[in-house]
Amino acid sequence: MKCGAASPGSVSAFENVRGLFSPLRFGLGFYFLVYIWFDGREAFWESANMRLTEREITAIREEIWRLDPKAEVYLYGSRVDDTARGGDVDLLVISATLGFRDVLRLRTRILDRIGWQQLDLVVRRRDQMDEPLAAMAQETGIKL
């Protein structure tokens, strides 16, 4: 992740951003997320690269939010590293409502839309976030 800050006069540098938390095309088929926030005097930004297409990001979000609109979704693992090649899609979903059958249905729906490939789908409730894998995925991952 890259972070930075800008003075009020240079906020115009962010005018090309299509929206907060939206994927932007970068390079050859890569997307990255840009998060921008203001503290009243300065604009701060943070960007995160990922190796998923806009279509894949949209499909993942739609399928998860179809079953739980309040779910949080994080991409973690090798797909957040632009220098890595290949790799499976690792997703952490934080949801209070998804059960075992929902997760099986969700996995199938996601793969039907993004193409069948290796998908690691980890679903945890908010009170399970102290588990090592969930904590690491949330800390190092990119929120979709």
For the chain, the structural domain boundaries read 2-50, 54-143
For residue 65, what pLDDT is reported?
Answer: 96
**Residue-averaged pLDDT of the chain:** 77
CATH superfamily of 54-143: Beta Polymerase, domain 2 (3.30.460.10)
For residue range 15-55, list pLDDT tens digits in order. 433 344 444 444 444 444 555 556 666 665 444 556 788 89
Give CA torsion, residues 24, 27, 32, 36, to 10 deg: -60
**Strand order through the sheet with 142-143:** 119-124, 89-94, 72-76, 142-143
For residue range 49-64, list pLDDT tens digits in order. 567 888 999 999 999 9
